[in-house]
């Protein structure tokens, strides 16, 4: 579990790394959203890395540069928020250097602050574990939408990461598996680029297996 006491905000150097490193280091950190005077937060418990131009599952595969994915081409630390299936938003944290372009999808949070507000935003969620156990649920509960696409999470007070840990979680506590919903990506769909805190009830299903780190 996260180390207590520290609330240092993640700076550029935290994000300006390989996306796999960022995906692992984000586990156990706190995502914060401030909206209409209300601060909601949750502990990041599940992530997926997307490796850019070579990755068939990435929106920037083959060097694709569109209005939709332009935030992925930013320097690490920006938010990339996109609309999917005509229903919900998904949030990524851009990693690496500008023009790289790689990112980490936030798949699940363990709700922490103002769960009453999250339940109002997600009236279909009957239990706390259902609030943020998936990328679309997470965005709805945290009031994250396309208006936050391109936000610099290093300097913007609407959306940012607080560091509860100085170091990555121990490898033995991280479950690893293939990414979800990217079957179109061929062999890239089976790459072990999904990471989760092993045994955490808030991780989305199907849960990656512990011991595959």
What is the distance between the alpha carbons of residues 74 and 81, in angstroms, rounded to a whole number? Answer: 13
The pLDDT of residue 3 is 42
Are 203 and 197 in contact by the 8 Å Cβ rule? The answer is: yes
**Residue 212 confidence (pLDDT):** 58
pLDDT on residue 200: 97
* Parallel, antiparallel or unpaired: strands 174-177 and 194-197: antiparallel
Q: Which of 34, 40, 39, 23 is nearest to 76 (CA)?
A: 23
R_g over Cα of the chain: 16
pLDDT (mean) for 158-163: 98
Q: Is 37 helix (H, G, I), strand (E, B) or coil?
A: coil
- Picking from 23, 31, 28, the residue whose alpha carbon sits closest to that of residue 1 is 28
Position 209 scores a pLDDT of 76
* Residue-wise pLDDT tens digits, 165-182: 999 999 999 999 999 999
Which residue from 70, 65, 57, 62 is spatially nearest to 19, judged by alpha carbons? Answer: 57
The pLDDT tens digits for 51-91 are 999 999 999 999 999 999 999 999 999 999 999 876 899 99
Q: What's the confidence (pLDDT) of residue 6?
A: 46
Q: What is the pLDDT of residues 94-149, one digit of tens each?
A: 999 999 999 999 999 999 999 999 999 999 999 999 999 999 999 999 999 999 99
Q: What is the pLDDT of residue 213?
A: 58
Mean pLDDT calculated for residue range 1-6 = 43
Flag whether pLDDT at 1 surpasses 60: no
Residues 6 or more apart whose CB falls under 8 angstroms from that of 143 comprise 33, 35, 40, 121
Superfamily the domain 8-197 falls into = Methylpurine-DNA glycosylase (MPG) (3.10.300.10)
Q: How far is CA 13 from the centre of its chain?
A: 17
**What does the block give as tokens for 35?**
């909206």
């Amino acid at each position: 579990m996260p180390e207590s006491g520290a609330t240092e905000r993640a700076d550029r150097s935290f994000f300006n790394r390989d996306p796999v490193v960022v995906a692992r280091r984000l586990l156990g950190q706190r995502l914060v959203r401030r909206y209409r005077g209300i601060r909601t937060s949750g502990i990041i418990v599940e992530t997926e890395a997307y490796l850019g131009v070579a990755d068939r599952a990435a929106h920037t595969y083959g060097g694709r540069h569109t209005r939709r994915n332009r935030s992925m081409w930013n320097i690490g630390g920006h938010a990339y928020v996109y609309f999917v299936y005509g229903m919900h938003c998904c949030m990524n944290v851009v990693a690496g250097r500008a023009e790289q372009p790689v990112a980490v999808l936030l798949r699940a949070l363990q709700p922490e602050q103002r769960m009453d507000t999250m339940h109002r935003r997600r009236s279909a969620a009957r239990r706390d574990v259902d609030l943020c156990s998936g990328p679309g649920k997470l965005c709805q509960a945290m009031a994250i939408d396309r208006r936050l696409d391109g936000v610099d999470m290093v300097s913007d007070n609407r959306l940012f990461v607080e560091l509860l840990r100085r170091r990555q979680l121990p490898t033995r506590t991280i479950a690893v598996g293939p990414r979800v919903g990217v079957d179109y990506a061929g062999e890239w769909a089976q790459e072990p680029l999904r990471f989760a805190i092993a045994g955490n009830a808030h991780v989305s299903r199907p849960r990656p297996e512990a011991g595959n780190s």
